């Protein structure tokens, strides 16, 4: 199945609804939002007037303060463009900076809306396939430069931290990648939505904290959606330092009717960045404990499946190649027999056809039940 088609169908990954199934596919969390976020949304609800909204400056201040204090990234307020989510921003970028038939580079396997953003605009996907070395993905820089040198290739979409593998790209890797894009006049779009969900002994590096030259051709996608579990409020903040690129992007948002955020998104984002840091720290600690449990469970009880250890995100990329099953067969194994809804790896690109993706941002009890179901279903294959 083509990734773009799979993305359209992804709201119902199994084609059916099963009340016994455990949903562990889409990237949001089972946890209540932080109390300050809930209070801000409730206060807005009690206000009772939900008309057009325009931020007064405190919204932008909250964003800039968060990234400066947490990640030593000084964002210039004028560089920010608000959109109704990162997926709309990806589509807008491809619309604005490519013509039909031109090319966009991805690092497969990668977040499936990247593929849709390219194909919906009638551009062509070029994959710089990630290489697995020592249990984690790495870039093939020789192949990357060869493909970036193509004059028909106009945009590169990078995922940092990586989804689905969970890699936190090093400063050296990011610098090398961005330098090649700059050399070949390719606009580099970096989706950094999972940056706040980084585990100990790893450091998320915002691209724009590196060489100032990278600001010339970079578009950085940020949002509180993943870290603070508020994706449904449809809010993202796109950092575009180059005023010429920013103006082209902004004009395209207007042409697409994207004219501002809803009042709940504005209030929730301020509350997240101003008052919810402690909640996030506790959340990441809980996620990491779930991660360690899941990794140990696969190693000790389901050795037929190899879990790639993520350095960020609450997503577990599971290599099922030892089962020697097709993508459709894997889908039936997990979603039909185990009744654990997982994302089919094939939607992340051809490189993911023997993988599935699991979301472990749930209660420990839910995780235990899900893993036990998977164990039983895999064991049934070999008995």
| 151-174 confidence digits (pLDDT tens) | 999 999 999 999 999 999 999 999
Residue 100 has pLDDT above 70, yes or no: yes
What mean pLDDT is predicted for residues 375-383? Answer: 89
Model confidence at 363, in pLDDT bands (50, 70, 90)?
very high
Whole-number Å distance between alpha carbons of 330 and 353: 9
Average pLDDT, the chain: 94
**Peptide bond just before 161 cis, omega within 30 deg:** yes
**Residues 12-55: tens digit of each pLDDT:** 444 445 678 999 999 999 999 999 999 999 999 999 998 888 88
Q: What is the pLDDT of residue 173?
A: 98
**Residues 307-341: tens digit of each pLDDT:** 999 999 999 999 999 999 999 999 999 999 999 99
Residues 6+ apart with CB under 8 A from 202: 168, 311, 312
Residue 6 has pLDDT above 70, yes or no: no
Token couple for 362: 């749930």
Model confidence at 4, in pLDDT bands (50, 70, 90)?
very low
Whole-number Å distance between alpha carbons of 18 and 77: 46
Q: pLDDT above 70 covers what percent of the chain? A: 95
Report the alpha-carbon angle 157-159-165, nearest 5.
Answer: 135
Give the CA-trace dihedral at 85, 109, 72, 288, to 10 degrees.
100
138, 107 contact by CB (below 8 A): no
DSSP three-state, residue 153: strand
Q: pLDDT above 90 covers what percent of the chain? A: 91
What mean pLDDT is predicted for residues 292-313? Answer: 98
CA pseudo-torsion sign 293, 297, 298, 299: positive
Q: How many Cα atoms sit within 13 Å of 352 on the Cβ side? A: 27
Q: What is the DSSP letter of 198?
A: B
- DSSP for 34-90? PHHHHHHHHHHHHH---------SHHHHHHHHHHHHHH-----GGGEEEES-HHHHH
Domain 3-32+278-381 has CATH 3.20.20.70: no
Token couple for 291: 């991660």
**Residues 172-221: tens digit of each pLDDT:** 999 999 999 999 999 999 999 999 999 999 999 999 999 999 999 999 99
Q: What is the pLDDT of residue 111?
A: 97
Q: What is the pLDDT of residue 103?
A: 98
Q: What is the pLDDT of residue 259?
A: 82
Every domain of the chain and the residues it spans: 3-32+278-381, 35-275
Q: What is the pLDDT of residue 17?
A: 59
Q: What is the pLDDT of residue 16?
A: 47
What mean pLDDT is predicted for residues 96-125? Answer: 97
What mean pLDDT is predicted for residues 284-303? Answer: 98
The length of the chain in residues reads 383
Q: What is the pLDDT of residue 202?
A: 97
Model confidence at 262, in pLDDT bands (50, 70, 90)?
very high
**Residues 9-18: tens digit of each pLDDT:** 344 444 445 6
Q: What is the pLDDT of residue 309?
A: 98
CATH number of this structure's domain 35-275, picked from the four choices 3.40.640.10, 3.40.50.300, 3.40.50.150, 3.40.50.1240: 3.40.640.10
Buried b (16+ CB within 10 A) or exposed e, 243-261: eebbebbbebbeeeebeeb
Whole-number Å distance between alpha carbons of 277 and 68: 13
Q: What is the pLDDT of residue 383?
A: 60
């Amino acid at each position: 199945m083509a990734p773009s088609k799979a993305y359209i169908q992804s709201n119902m990954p199994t084609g059916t609804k099963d009340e016994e199934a455990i949903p562990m596919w889409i990237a949001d969390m089972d946890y209540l939002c932080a109390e300050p976020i809930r209070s801000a949304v409730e206060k807005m609800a009690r206000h009772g007037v939900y008309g057009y909204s325009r931020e007064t400056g405190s919204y932008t201040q909250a964003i800039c303060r968060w990234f400066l204090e947490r990640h030593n990234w000084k964002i210039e307020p004028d560089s920010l463009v608000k959109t109704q989510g990162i997926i709309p921003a990806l589509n807008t970028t491809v619309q604005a900076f490519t013509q039909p038939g031109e090319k966009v580079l991805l690092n497969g396997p990668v977040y499936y809306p990247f593929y849709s953003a390219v194909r919906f605009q009638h551009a062509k996907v070029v994959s710089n396939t990630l290489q697995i070395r020592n249990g984690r993905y790495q870039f093939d820089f020789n192949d990357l430069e060869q493909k970036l040198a193509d004059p028909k290739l106009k945009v590169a979409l990078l995922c940092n931290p990586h989804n689905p593998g969970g890699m936190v790209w090093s400063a050296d890797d990011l610098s090398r990648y961005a330098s090649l894009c700059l050399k070949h006049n390719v606009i580099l779009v970096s989706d950094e939505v999972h940056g706040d969900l980084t585990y100990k002994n790893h450091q998320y590096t915002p691209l724009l904290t590196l060489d100032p030259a990278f600001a010339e051709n970079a578009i950085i996608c940020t949002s509180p959606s993943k870290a603070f579990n508020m994706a449904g409020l449809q809010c993202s903040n796109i950092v575009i330092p180059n005023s010429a690129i920013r103006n082209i992007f902004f004009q395209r948002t207007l042409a697409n009717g994207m004219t501002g955020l809803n009042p709940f998104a504005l209030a929730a984002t301020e509350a997240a960045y101003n008052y919810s840091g402690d909640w996030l720290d506790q959340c990441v600690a809980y996620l990491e404990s779930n991660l360690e449990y899941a990794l140990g469970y696969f190693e000790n009880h389901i050795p037929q499946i190899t879990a790639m250890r993520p350095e960020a995100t609450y997503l577990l990329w599971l290599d099922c190649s030892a089962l020697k099953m097709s993508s459709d067969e894997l889908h039936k194994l997990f979603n039909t027999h185990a009744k654990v809804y997982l994302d089919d790896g094939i939607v992340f690109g051809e490189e993911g056809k023997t993988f599935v993706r699991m979301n472990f941002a749930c209660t420990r009890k839910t995780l235990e039940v899900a893993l036990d179901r998977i164990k039983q279903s895999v064991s049934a294959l070999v008995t």
